[in-house]
Structure formats: structure tokens, C-alpha cells
Chain A
Amino acid sequence: KQEVTQIPAALSVPEGENLVLNCSFTDSAIYNLQWFRQDPGKGLTSLLLIQSSQREQTSGRLNASLDKSSGRSTLYIAASQPGDSATYLCAGFKAAGNKLTFGGGTRVLVKP
């Protein structure tokens, strides 16, 4: 059973276009949602953490929203650049065991 799902699995856009990445979770015990970036062969870089009391977080061109009632989070990247090409992972945090459950990721390619 996939607790955290990311759609689409891959996305290719021309430079300058806005990116919309979706994350959905079925476990109501998930209360914090975190977005990460992973470059090929590298570790994870945390982008945004949305706590249960928050509905969204913003950092520069990045904006992430969280709707716990529908079990969805969306990461928006405005005015995409080739340097935004990477895999983006969302992860839900559950208090029990302090565990993060990852989605399958969305591989993004921004074409110049």
C-alpha cells in the first residue's frame, strides 16, 4: 500500500514555465509534510517543511501548500530554470516513530 503518492512521475517543461508538482497521502496520521530536492547521485536537500498548523510555506520561487482534509500537498515552482531540473520528493511525517514516508518522486526536466 502506497501511503504517499506523487503525480506525475516525470515532467518536462520549457524554461520559464511554472511547475506544479502534486503529492497525496492516505494516512491521516501524517501531519507534517516536507518537500525535498534530489540531484542525480546525490543526497536530499530540504526545500520546504509545512507543519500541521500551517497551510503553506514559501521560499523564493517555491511555494508549497498543504490540505490535510483532502490529503494533498502541492509544490509550485515559478518561472522554472534549467537548474531546477532534479527529482522532487515529498515526505509525510508521522508522530508515531518519528518516521518520514516518502513518495515516489517527480523527475523534472526544464529545457532551455
Chain B
Amino acid sequence: GAVVSQHPSRVICKSGTSVKIECRSLDFQATTMFWYRQFPKQSLMLMATSNEGSKATYEQGVEKDKFLINHASLTLSTLTVTSAHPEDSSFYICSASLRSGGTETQYFGPGTRLLVL
């Protein structure tokens, strides 16, 4: 159980276009999902916390108008990179939070590799 999927797994787009990435919890409901970005040979950096039915909370330095997050249901959060530029090329990973027995655990998706030409 506790499987998280992401779609697409890889996307190549032209500079200036917008790209939407989906994150789904397949067998559980997640009131909270998280979006991370990972540049080559670097660790994961939290971009934002996505709560179902409310606005996302962005980390310092992350442009909320550039990275639009929608968490419309308990199993789906989307990240839209608007007007993407080459510097947005990165590996984007989501996680979904599941609380069980008083412990909060994040389950990670397989990631989406974005390449902006």
C-alpha cells in the first residue's frame, strides 16, 4: 500500500510554455502533499506544501505565481510550471502524507524530469 504516482515521468517543452505535473496517492487519501525540486547531484529542496481545499504554502524563494499548485481532491495535487524557462529544468518529486498510529509518513512519487529547451 501507500503508493504515489506522478505523471508525466518525463517532459520536454519549449521555453515559454506551461507544464502540468500530476501527483496522485493511489490507495490512500492525503490531506497534505509536498512538492520538491532536485537539481543534478543535489538534494531535494522543498518547494511548497499543498493542503487539500486550501492554498499552498510556499517555501522562501519559491515564486507562487510561477509554480501553481492545486490540491482539488484528497488524492490529487498538481504543479504547473508557468512560462517555463531552461533554468526550470529539474527533477520534480512529490510526496503524499499519511497519518497512521500517531505517526506522519511521507510517501514519494517516482519523480518527473522536466527539460525546457
Partner-B contacts on A (CB < 8 A):
32, 36, 41-44, 46, 49, 51, 89, 91, 93, 97-105, 107
Contact = CB atoms under 8 A, between A and B. Distances in A.
Contact of B110 (A43, A93, A98, A103): A43
B75 interface: no
Size band of the B side of the interface?
A: 20 to 34
A99 B46 contact: yes
Nearest to A9: B41
Interface string B45-59: 110010000000100
A97 B41 CA distance: 26
B43 A93 contact: no
Main secondary structure of the interface of B (DSSP, over half): strand
Main secondary structure of the interface of A (DSSP, over half): strand
B10 to A, nearest CB: 9
B87 interface: no
Nearest to B4: A43
Given A49-B103, A98-B49, A101-B46, 19 more contacts: A41-B111, A43-B93, A43-B108, A43-B110, A43-B111, A46-B105, A46-B107, A46-B108, A89-B44, A97-B49, A97-B57, A98-B97, A99-B34, A99-B46, A99-B49, A100-B46, A102-B43, A102-B45, A104-B43
